[in-house]
Structure 1
Amino acid sequence: MKTDSIIAYYDGLCPICVHEMKVYVRRGQGRVLLHDVNGDIPDDIDRQAALDALWVRKSDGALVTGWDAFIAIWERSPGFGWLAALTRPTVIKWPLDKLYRFLAPYRPRRKCADGACDLQS
């Protein structure tokens, strides 16, 4: 784990989320680590809150969520820094965060069969 690594707490039952997070892992070159919130999670993260929006633990231990979580990921993923810089100003970030939190509950999710899920991280 690199010293500037972050951990993205994401919904591993969401195919779109899984695909997107894998892109960041490939691009992040060890600076973006994944943790599926459908499995064990740290005590300081509420599972439902983490299912409602992306969460990231920054290298200093601070937790950020929503659009700030995406910005933290983009800052560590080569090729996405411009997107972090573009959406960081509050006047842009605030409406994007509101839109993300409104749309996130409508994302597709795989269903568990017989009470067992195939969890990916």
Structure 2
Amino acid sequence: MLTVWYNTRCPVCDAGINRQRRRLVEAVKAGRVEFRDINFEPEALSAFGASLEDIRRRLHATDAEGRLLVGADVAIAVWRLTPGEGWLASLFGNLVALPLTRFAYDRFADLLYAWNRRKGRW
């Protein structure tokens, strides 16, 4: 199972995850993916060294093997499960594009995190 941890207090993050959840209804029902609000379980990923602020800054997930995924790697894993979005995982997750995908995701996440902090969404 892929367990995705996200920040519901961020309107952009919440909307994006709600969109994916609607597209992944069958995968959720089958137990292949789960979406969890880190604000209810702030210590959930502390064993991985991930703080509440880390997860508010970037998506985090654990995969079926118990590995931690962060940022763009979470988006790619979700796209792989989402009907009609596997091509996004192939395009942005291939060996050539992945470093640029991670860089772009991280810069966007930094801007979004700063915006949310300025708006007091914590």
TM-score (norm 2): 0.78
Higher relative contact order (CA 8 A, sep 6+): 1
Question: Once the 2 structures are TM-superposed, how far is the Cα of residue 105 of structure 1 from its aligned partner?
Answer: 2.5
Residue 48 of structure 1: which of 32, 42, 53 is its match?
A: 53
- Is 1:64–2:69 an aligned residue pair? yes
- Structure 1 residue 27 and structure 2 residue 32: aligned? no
In structure 1, runs of 5+ residues without a counterpart are none
1:102 positional shift: 1.4
- How far off is 1:57 after superposition? 1.0
Question: How far has the Cα of 1:82 moved from its partner?
Answer: 0.9
> Aligned-pair distance for 1:39?
2.3
Answer 1 or 2: which has greater helix percent.
Answer: 2
Q: How does 1:1-121 map to 2 (within 5 A)?
A: 5-28=1-24, 29=26, 30=28, 31-41=32-42, 42=44, 43-44=46-47, 45-107=50-112, 108-109=115-116, 111=120
Question: Contact 2:93–2:101 (CA<8 Å) still a contact in 1?
Answer: no
- For the residue of structure 2 that corresponds to 1:91, the secondary structure is coil
Q: What is the SS of the residue equivalent to 1:38?
A: helix
- Identical counterparts, % of pairs: 26
RMSD over aligned Cα atoms: 1.8
Aligned length: 109
TM (normalized to structure 1)? 0.79
